[in-house]
Structure 1
């Protein structure tokens, strides 16, 4: 099922099609991708784990009526899946209770880095959430992941970021991470970037 489309991309549900599962495994088995995610069970070590990962994602977002999820990013012209984009509520301090803070994120295969796919897919997902009435969408980025931080900075619909402030992301027991924000005199929705592992 298609969730969103952009000029170059189709954001759609991951499926149990063998090609989708193979690509999902290829992306999430790579240390250069998994190192930034901090999720249990990554990197994947067996192709059968792709089915399990897909089931976890579906269960996590089953009650959200399609508003939130982790979706495949497919290039329209080629049909190649280049990665995942996610839109989901952030967990609270107990890591179980979801908050009203919404996260946008992206996980791309290294062969798809540097083409602007993360910016395009993440921007579309964030714009959809902002149009639904959410005031802020957080791009949660692991410390040291400068490429993803650069993508997050490009998502600010109000213009280039004007400053960095410190904030502890709920559930993160490590030191407070940088949160990208811009001071404004008018209320405006914004995409904000916070350091945190997923």
Structure 2
């Protein structure tokens, strides 16, 4: 299912199609991606079967969200290539089993799709969609040292509010916030 489209992108559900599963594995088996996704992420993947497991975990996590939150594929319109993932979801608290009221936007792109502005364009689209629901602010949390993701945050107009340990089991993350227009 398509969630939102932009000038260059289609943001849609990841599927169990073999091409999607292969791309999930190709992205999340890469150390240059996994290194930024936290110690509890279970990454990098080491077996292609893990892609189907990861897809099921995303689907289960968002099953009750009725499409509002999710972990979606970023597909380039002109090529059909899936560039990566964009996510929008309630941040897990210090107890990772409990959702906070804070909403997170995030992105994970395959290296062959870096430098095209896809992360910024996809994140901007899902954030605008979320603001339309009345949400007042959206956060991005970035592993310390992940300069490319911090640059995406800045391009989105997000404000850096320092390092925080409120979420993801108390893991220290660089925190950025964007307020809804008029807030």
For residue 180 of structure 2, the aligned residue among 182, 189, 197 is 189
- Residues 165 and 181 in structure 1, CA contact (< 8 A), matched pair in contact too: no
Runs (5+) with no aligned partner, structure 2: none
Residue 155 of structure 1 deviates from its aligned partner by 1.2
* Alpha-carbon distance, 1:99 to partner: 1.4
Alpha-carbon distance change, 44 to 171 in structure 1, aligned in 2, over 3 angstroms: closer
The residue aligned with 2:116 is 115
* Cα distance in 1, alignment partners of residues 148 and 66 from structure 2: 31
Structure 1 length normalisation: TM-score? 0.84
Residues 145-195 of structure 1 deviation map (CA, whole Å, 9 limit, x = unaligned): 000000011112xxx74x6445433344345x443458xxxxx527xxxxx
| TM superposition shift of 1:96 | 1.2
2-side partners of 1:14 and 1:107: how far apart? 13
Aligned twin of 2:155:
154
Aligned partner of 1:26 in structure 2 is 26
Q: How many residues were matched structurally?
A: 180
CA distance in 2, matches of 1:178, 1:118: 18
Unaligned runs of 5+ in 1: 183-187, 191-198
Bigger share in helix: 2
Give how far 1:92 is off: 1.7
> Which runs of at least 4 in structure 1 moved beyond 3 Å after TM superposition?
163-168, 177-182
2 CA distance for matches of 1:106 and 1:174?
Answer: 18
Whether the aligned pair in 1 keeps the contact of 2:74 and 2:86 (CA below 8 Å) is: yes
Deviation per CA, 1:20-60: give whole Å up to 9, x if none.
Answer: 11111000000000110124321011111100000000000
TM-score of the superposition, structure 2-length normalised? 0.91
Please, which moves more after superposition, 86-95 or 71-80? Answer: 86-95
